[in-house]
A = this chain, B = another copy of it.
């Protein structure tokens, strides 16, 4: 059978089955509850099968006013955590016949991404950690939006237990006897990070431990950022005995610098990350961290988004944040 030059259309199927194009569309198109005689339906299906018909999703989208595409924007796709979020979105979206267009804001600003996605007529957007509040006000109009780990004020969202994550890290370190505790996190005003930070410090204060401002290091949430931050922490005359990093990349960088400086981990310094990306188990020693269900977070965001596309009025019953879990590994030990 020669490969078709032009792809098979509903017209081709109609001719083959001896019915009208409209009937083919009724059988193969959206509405499964369309009134078509069983015999006709069968005949159309067989013709479609025989010709190898595949619906042209662009044409379908044009008439339905849908592109069946979703945009997902994250700060950094090379961070496995965000990649997992995207993967979660992708899986759910794929099942519903949607495709996802991922983008990150490392090199291209969010506003420009949104411009391009809008030109693509994406039906919806998932935004994670891109500071939706600080976007130009009309950048998101006319599109359904779901936020991840942001305050769900103007748009609905899903959340992980960021506050809880910070608290777990703090309690773990406190439980090991640490009182001299530092925090490494980003300066950027991303709500999820802010919550992790707040949870951490709240737990410290609850335990009567007053944080020191010189032990709060702000740096881009990357490996390089973690290295820099740890370098300045180690340079000070007075060193913390435990550090909570706002994500695992920071922790990996911090660990690297500490080991290179000859520090014993966890002997002289305990380290807790956040996210539990695969990297955490590759480091030596393995990283103690707080596991965030990234994939499930993305999946849940996608489900909410798809739901709202069908019914824009759908207001999610305010969901519990996804549960987080402390994973104790090799970078934390009793205070000396």
Contacts and interface: CB of A to CB of B under 8 A. Distances in A.
Please classify how large the interface on chain A is, using the bins under 10, 10 to 19, 20 to 34, 35 or more: 35 or more
Interface in A52-74: 54-59, 61-62, 67
A213 interface: no
Nearest to A279: B279
Interface string A269-290: 0000000001101111000000
Contacts of A253: 282
A263 to B, nearest CB: 12
Nearest to A113: B94
A180 B77 CA distance: 39
Interface in A92-132: 94, 99-102, 108, 116, 118-121
A62 B58 contact: yes
Q: How many chain copies?
A: 2
A292 to B, nearest CB: 16
Interface string A2-33: 01110100000000000000000000000000
A108 to B, nearest CB: 8
Contact of A87 (B59, B77, B223): B77
Contacts of A120: 57-58, 99
A291 interface: no
A234 interface: no
A211 to B, nearest CB: 27
Contacts of A54: 118-119
Contacts of A94: 108, 116
A248 to B, nearest CB: 11
Given A3-B141, A58-B62, A116-B94, A78 B67 contact: no
A138 interface: yes
Given A58-B121, A83-B77, A278-B223, A3 B101 contact: no
Contacts of A100: 101
A202 interface: no
Given A77-B87, A256-B282, A282-B283, 20 more contacts: A5-B142, A54-B118, A54-B119, A57-B119, A58-B61, A58-B67, A58-B120, A58-B121, A78-B80, A78-B84, A78-B278, A83-B83, A94-B116, A99-B116, A223-B278, A256-B284, A260-B284, A279-B279, A279-B282, A283-B284
